[in-house]
């Protein structure tokens, strides 16, 4: 299984290097229009190789997707934490009741203890 993983990573590396070598031409990336940049007094253009722009877009998309999913799944994590706290509270209550009675006489409590 590890060999398959290393093979996949090697193929991915070859593909990424090939894309980078094929897209070395410099491109100008403008963050805002020239008029807006002139009014704000900010340099809004950067010249980069095209493969950096492509790979940067991929990385930015992945990061945005991770953050989006983290926010989207917040309600599920909060519900799981609430259920975990409730389960721990109930386990403590069962333990307290068993100590109070001594030996568990109830079948359900005997199963929970075992």
Q: How far is CA 21 from CA 13, 30, 60, in A?
A: 12, 23, 21
Mean pLDDT score, 45-56? 92
Q: Is pLDDT larger for residue 39 or for residue 47?
A: 47
Whether the predicted pLDDT of 68 surpasses 70 = yes
Mean pLDDT score, 96-107? 71
Mean pLDDT score, 33-41? 83
Q: Is residue 29 part of a domain?
A: no
Q: Is residue 99 part of a domain?
A: yes
Q: Is residue 100 part of a domain?
A: yes
Q: Is residue 24 part of a domain?
A: no
Q: Is pLDDT larger for residue 63 or for residue 114?
A: 63
Highest mean pLDDT among 8-12, 36-40, 42-46: 8-12
Q: Is residue 45 part of a domain?
A: no
Q: Is residue 90 part of a domain?
A: yes
Q: Is pLDDT larger for residue 110 or for residue 25?
A: 25
Q: Where are the alpha helices (DSSP H) in 23-114?
A: 34-40, 50-72, 74-101, 107-113
Q: Is residue 5 part of a domain?
A: no
Q: 14 CB contacts (<8 Å, ≥6 apart)?
A: none
Mean pLDDT score, 34-54? 87
Q: Is residue 91 part of a domain?
A: yes
Domain boundaries, position 97: 75-113
Number of domains in the chain: 1
How buried is residue 37: exposed, middle or buried, by Cβ count under 10 Å (0-12/13-18/19+)? middle
d(CA 106, CA 98): 10
């Amino acid at each position: 299984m590890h060999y398959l993983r290393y093979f996949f990573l090697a193929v991915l590396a070859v593909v990424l290097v090939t894309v980078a070598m094929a897209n070395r031409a410099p491109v100008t990336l403008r963050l805002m229009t020239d008029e807006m940049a002139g009014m704000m007094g900010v340099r809004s253009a950067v010249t980069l190789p095209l493969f950096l722009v492509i790979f940067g877009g991929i990385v930015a998309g992945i990061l945005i997707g991770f953050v989006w999913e983290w926010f989207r799944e917040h309600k599920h994590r909060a519900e799981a934490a609430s259920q975990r706290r409730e389960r721990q509270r109930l386990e403590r209550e069962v333990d307290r009741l068993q100590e109070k009675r001594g030996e568990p006489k109830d079948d359900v409590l005997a199963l929970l203890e075992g």
